[in-house]
Structure 1
Amino acid sequence: MRADLPVRDPAPRLDRMTPPVRIGVQLQPQHADYAQIRDAVRRSEDLGVDVVFNWDHFFPLTGGPDGKHFECWTMLGAWAEQTSRVEIGALVTCNSYRNPELLADMARTVDHISGGRLVLGIGAGWFEKDYDQFGYEFGTPGTRIAELAAALPRIKARWAASNPVPTRDIPVLVGGGGERKTLRVVAEHADVWHAFGDAATIRRKSAILDEHGAAVGRDTASLVERSAAVSSPPEVAAADLLDAGVTLFTVGLSGPDYDLSLAQRWVAWRDARA
């Protein structure tokens, strides 16, 4: 990060009834050389975003299916050293690709490297090509969600048993919108829920999440931050998403150029609100 830019404090975690509005970017690690990805991370932190995400796949999801691509967690270790302020994480890690105890130790290590800035974004997995090409059992949506539900307590138990333990309670972000199973996992385990769909869909599913929270004895309305991807400028999308409860807005960017102009508009909107 350039020395002539003001340093923003890391975004506060979910110890407040209303989380602050935050802006993220997802730097999709596809169709780019790593030098271009590293430069996009630098530019994102200089711009003032709060969180920089990648994703956990082995092949591009858009554009040429056999284009350039890089692995998620190796990259997060490098980002932890490169950055000094932003939170970092995957949007999201696929639970199927790593033993839960191994993933917990990877996350703990990146947490320490970064000085306590890792977010563990995690989901059940869905991209069949990854599974087939790397030899994982694809199963069914039901089995993958059940495996995610079983993995999260194991991850937290491994953190508690580690030496040293993580620098903080690592925030867990769970992505997905399945109303009967996935949102139950969110209610039981997550600090952040990454939702999919328009504002009306997020509002409806958010209410279902809170019903699951009541069933498991957890006040998800105040304890679980709502997150969503945005592809429109804030003057178009912000009001409805805010009304739906979203406070973490993430702009997805693909290589090779990683154009941050839309993210810049969201950062300006966040700062104008403050």
Structure 2
Amino acid sequence: MTSRIRIGVQLQPQHAPEYGLIRDAVMRAENAGVDVVFNWDHFFPLYGDSDGAHFECWTMLGAWAEQTSRVEIGALVTCNSYRNPDLLADMARTVDHISGGRLILSLGAGWFQRDYTEYGYDFGTKGSRLDALGEALPRIESRLSKLNPQPVRDIPILIGGGGEKKTLKHVANHADIWHAFVDVETYRHKSSVLAQHCADAGRDPAEIERSAEVKFDGDVDAMLGFADEITAEGVTLLTVASGGPDYDLTAVDALVRWRDARG
């Protein structure tokens, strides 16, 4: 697990009527000094106009792999339900090669019902979706081991979420990175639960990099205060979101300066 603080930005592919707006935001983010650029895996906007402009994430990642030269890239997170696990592994390997070994394969069980309904996927239940993720992870790992050519690197697997019975067990068994969407106190509790799952799996929890969402409501000082608190708990990857059409990187710039000032 890395001990260096890294900064990510999630460029949400919504409300950008022209793809060039997203391309420009990726360029600005890389030039700003971020370590990771994420998008998300949805088919419709999650806020604002529900029928607003939106683009698909994995096609976009292929373009980002060509456009960028330094940052890692990925979807925060890929919905396990939307693609056959073996196909997803092959897609990940291909984008990994296009990028020269900079892909993070980020996964979650899925939750946004409209995506499922309009694109013809079985929504099931939260439990069934988490079970499906548990079944998919070994298939993804197996397919990655069989592909020719092999990935450029051992593609890191990130799992997002904090469910204590299933999600964190999947993290303990399969993830290189755990991404949390929680406050500091809740993170501390979830981390202890993950440690127990790791003990059950015979794995050192220190092997898993810790990642967290950073919320920004316009108050830079409050955001950086949270960054100080959550990194004190062992989190080393902090990701803040920005949506279209403007893709304001004010929070990104502040976090990069904060990271660099830490030395």
**TM range, smaller chain:** over 0.9
1:86 aligns with 2:71: yes
1:268 matched to 2:257 = yes
Partner in structure 1 of residue 240 of structure 2:
251
5+ long unaligned stretches in structure 1: 1-13
- Tell me, in whole angstroms, the C-alpha distance in 2 between the residues paired with 1:263 and 1:235: 11
Percent identical pairs in the alignment equals 65
Quote the residue 1:3 is aligned against: none
Residues 223-238 of structure 1 aligned to structure 2 (within 5 Å): 223-232=207-216, 233=220, 234-238=223-227
Is this contact kept in 1: 2:21–2:246, CA < 8 A? yes
Contact 1:47/1:264, CA 8 A, preserved across alignment: yes
Pairwise CA RMSD? 0.8
Amino acid of the structure 1 residue aligned with 2:245: P
Q: What SS does the aligned partner of 2:203 have?
A: coil
CA distance, structure 1, for counterparts of residue 184 and residue 59 of structure 2 = 34
| SS at 2:212 equivalent | strand
Aligned counterparts of 1:31 and 1:199: Cα–Cα separation in 2? 31
Query: Over residues 96-127 of structure 1, what are the superposed CA-to-partner deviations in whole Å (9 max), with x where a residue is unaligned?
Result: 00000000000000000000000000000000
Q: 2:19 & 2:191 partners in 1: Cα distance?
A: 37
TM-score normalised by structure 2 residue count: 0.96
Q: Give the superposition deviation at 1:236.
A: 2.1
What secondary structure does 2:104 align onto? strand
Mapped partners of 1:139, 1:245: distance in 2: 35
Distance 1:41 1:114 in 2: 14
Q: Find the residue that maps to 2:213 and give its secondary structure.
A: strand
The reply to whether residue 117 of structure 1 matches residue 102 of structure 2 is: yes
**Which residue of structure 2 lines up, in the alignment, with residue 152 of structure 1?**
137
Displaced runs of 4+ in structure 1, greater than 6 A?
none
SS where residue 38 of structure 1 aligns?
A: helix
Q: What residue in structure 1 maps to residue 173 of structure 2? A: 188
Provide the secondary structure at the position in 2 that maps to 1:227.
strand
Letter in 2 for 1:202: Y
How far did 1:235 drift? 3.1
Q: How does 1:13-32 map to 2 (within 5 A)?
A: 14=1, 18-32=2-16
1:245 Cα deviation after fit: 1.8
Q: What amino acid is the match of 1:84?
A: S
Alignment partner of 1:118: what SS? coil
**Which whole-Å CA distance do the structure 1 matches of 2:224 and 2:148 have between them?**
47
170-179 vs 18-27, greater mean Cα deviation: 18-27
> Alpha-carbon deviations, 1:170-225, whole Å to 9, x = none?
000000110111100000000111111101101110110010000001111x1111
Structure 2 Cα separation of the partners of residues 272 and 265 of structure 1: 11
Residues in 1 aligned to 2:111 and 2:227: alpha-carbon distance in whole angstroms: 28
Residues 1-274 of structure 1 aligned to structure 2 (within 5 Å):
14=1, 18-32=2-16, 33-220=18-205, 222-232=206-216, 233=220, 234-274=223-263
What CA distance in whole angstroms lies between the structure 2 residues aligned with 1:235 and 1:60? 28
Q: Tell me the CA shift for residue 59 of structure 1.
A: 0.2
